Amino acid sequence: MKKMLCALAVAGLTLASSAKAAVFDYSYTYHDGTKVSGSFTGDLNGTSIYNLSNISVLENGASIWGGTFYLHGFTPDEAGYSQGGAFVSLIPSLNSFAFTSSPDVNVGPLPAFFDYGEPGPGGPASHLGINGSVVVFDRPDNNSNFSIVARSTGGTANGEVPEPHIVLLFGAALAGLALTRKAGKN
């Protein structure tokens, strides 16, 4: 019985702390006042966001591309885009990604793209491209004009109310720990 209670407690705590699916809103304001914003769906784990889908990119509130956007890696002042290596985080200085209108970054010119990246010899950079050309280029100042926030989640990010099954799992874990402790005293 004691082993079963311990297993229940561990399972409950593990499931309660797993990645949470969420919808995120992001925005970046260039020095010339152009604002890029949009949203995407992803899995939040700590401050990192994985498995992005449903990506939208808007310039001053208008869509820049009627099709699907794809996630790629981005390294400013080096090779540019890569098929892998994208990193998206709630912490702006850790980001290195490109949202492009093509699943293959080696095909060009890309009809539409937005990229944002911190790594690179020249520091951070961001580009907005429409119809195959760069419309706006910027070097962000201390990442103060870029943000990603969770709009809705399946968990407790940004003060959201926990899902009922998470509360039940957490309660079962606590009950299992309490019963295990009580059984150990007898």
Instruction: Tell whether 138 is covered by a domain.
Output: yes
Domain contains 186 = no
**Is 60 exceeded by the pLDDT of residue 7?**
no
How many domains does the structure of the chain reveal? Answer: 1
Whether the pLDDT of residue 18 is over 80: the answer is no
Q: Report which DSSP code applies to 145.
A: T
The answer to whether residue 111 is domain-embedded is yes
DSSP 36: E
| Model confidence at 84: pLDDT above 60 | yes
Q: Look at residue 184 and give its three-state secondary structure.
A: helix
Q: Which domain holds residue 55?
A: 17-154
pLDDT at 146: 84
Position 85 in a domain: yes
The answer to whether position 9 is within a domain reads: no
Q: What is the pLDDT of residue 156?
A: 43
Whole-prediction pTM:
0.68
Exposure pattern of 15-50 as b/e (b: 16+ CB <10 Å)? ebeebbebebebebbbeeeeebbbbbbbbbeeeebe
Q: What letter does residue 160 receive in the DSSP assignment?
A: P
Tell me whether residue 170 is in a domain: no
Q: Minimum mean pLDDT among 1-5, 34-38, 41-45, 167-171: which range?
A: 1-5
